[in-house]
Amino acid sequence: MWLADGWKDYQVIDCSKGEKLERWGEYLLVRPDPQVIWDTPKNHRGWRSRNGHYHRSVKGGGEWEFFDLPQQWSINYKDLTFNLKPFSFKHTGLFPEQAVNWDWFGNKIRNAGRPVKVLNLFAYTGGATLAAAAAGAQVTHVDASKGMVGWAKENAASSCLSDAPIRWLVDDCVKFVEREIRRGNHYDGIIMDPPSYGRGPKGEIWKIEEAIHPLVKLCVQLLSDDPLFFLINSYTTGLAPAVLTYMMSTEIIPRFGGHVDAQEIGLPVKESGLALPCGASGRWER
């Protein structure tokens, strides 16, 4: 497992009975997590002194219950600053486990010794975009949600990256990739963090099991003659690390060589000393 253990402003304190207790800066949140199927005692006082608690409904969805939590606050990861706010479906605007990938491709960009162009698809609030830009890359950030792209720009400003070479685009990722192929554009690194299910700006339906392989095939056409990396993240249980390895190996290696590694990614849990699984990532590199 690749463990995101470099955080100072974030921590999984405990997890039990379908929920996790997290510290986001100075605030404690309790949120549901379907991976937490164990039933250990909730002895940590944070379970009772939380600042926010997202209660899942048996009918689907859920709602927040707040106890002295600001509408927005920020946390840092190394030189990056992220603005957080609780919004629908339990999220805060950041997936901390992705920091393990930020460190990986950030080091590759810094050590490349040449200009690097990166495409970030399904780019959400810009964690990977900012990490790539801070490492020196020119980044194209694509997400179907205008609100998420606006939030990512706020994070860039908070991270002193407003003047970084980032192209911000509100677009359907598949259609954008198809247009980039026709334009003859290429990228040295590609990052994709697709949802399990979603809709594009014009209602286009995305189901990851059906759409991910065709998109990977398209994206391979966007890689430069000397590509640096290709990263796929998945929160869908059907896309296990071995599935990511097989898919990326058959599409990328025949054309560019290199090798693929895929692992679960996770976060350390303070109380147990164990790791909370948070999906999987597949990495291609030379």
Q: Is the pLDDT of residue 241 over 80?
A: yes
Domain 96-285 in CATH 3.50.50.60? The answer is no
Q: What percent of the chain has pLDDT over 70?
A: 97
User: CATH number of the domain at 2-84, please?
Assistant: 2.60.40.1180
Confidence bin at 89 (pLDDT 50/70/90): confident
More reliable by pLDDT, 90 or 269: 269
- Residues written for the chain: 286
Please give the pLDDT value at position 61: 83
pLDDT higher than threshold 90 for residue 200: no
Domain residue ranges of the chain, discontinuous segments joined by +: 2-84, 96-285
Q: Are strands 189-192 and 166-170 parallel, antiparallel or unpaired?
A: unpaired
Least confident of 21-25, 211-215, 280-284: 211-215
DSSP string, the chain: -EE----SSEEEEEEETTEEEEEETTEEEEEE-TT--------SGGGTS-SEEEEEPTTS-EEEEESS--S-EEEEETTEEEEE---STT--S--GGGHHHHHHHHHHHHTS-S--EEEEES-TTSHHHHHHHHTT-EEEEEES-HHHHHHHHHHHHHTT-TTSSEEEEES-HHHHHHHHHHHT--BSEEEE---SEEE-TT--EEEHHHHHHHHHHHHHTTB-SS--EEEEEE--TTS-HHHHHHHHHHHHHHHH--EEEEEEEEEEBTTTS-EEEEEEEEEEE-
In this structure, of 109-118, 179-188, 208-217, the range with the lowest mean pLDDT score is: 208-217
Q: What is the pLDDT of residue 28?
A: 98
**What are the tens digits of pLDDT across the range 40-81?**
999 999 999 999 999 988 877 899 999 999 999 999 999 999
What pLDDT score does 211 carry?
A: 84
Q: Residue 40 — φ and ψ, nearest 5°?
A: -100, 160
Percentage of residues in the chain having pLDDT higher than 90: 87
| pLDDT of the residue at 222 | 98
State the average pLDDT for the chain: 94
Report the pLDDT averaged over residues 6-34.
Answer: 97
pLDDT for residue 236 is more than 90: no
Predicted structure pTM score: 0.94
pLDDT band, residue 208 (cuts 50/70/90): confident
**Residue 206 pLDDT more than 70?**
no
* Per-residue model confidence as pLDDT tens digits over 131-176: 999 999 999 999 999 999 999 999 999 999 999 999 999 999 999 9
How many CB atoms are closer than 10 A to CB 198?
Answer: 17
What is the pLDDT, as a whole number, of residue 201?
60
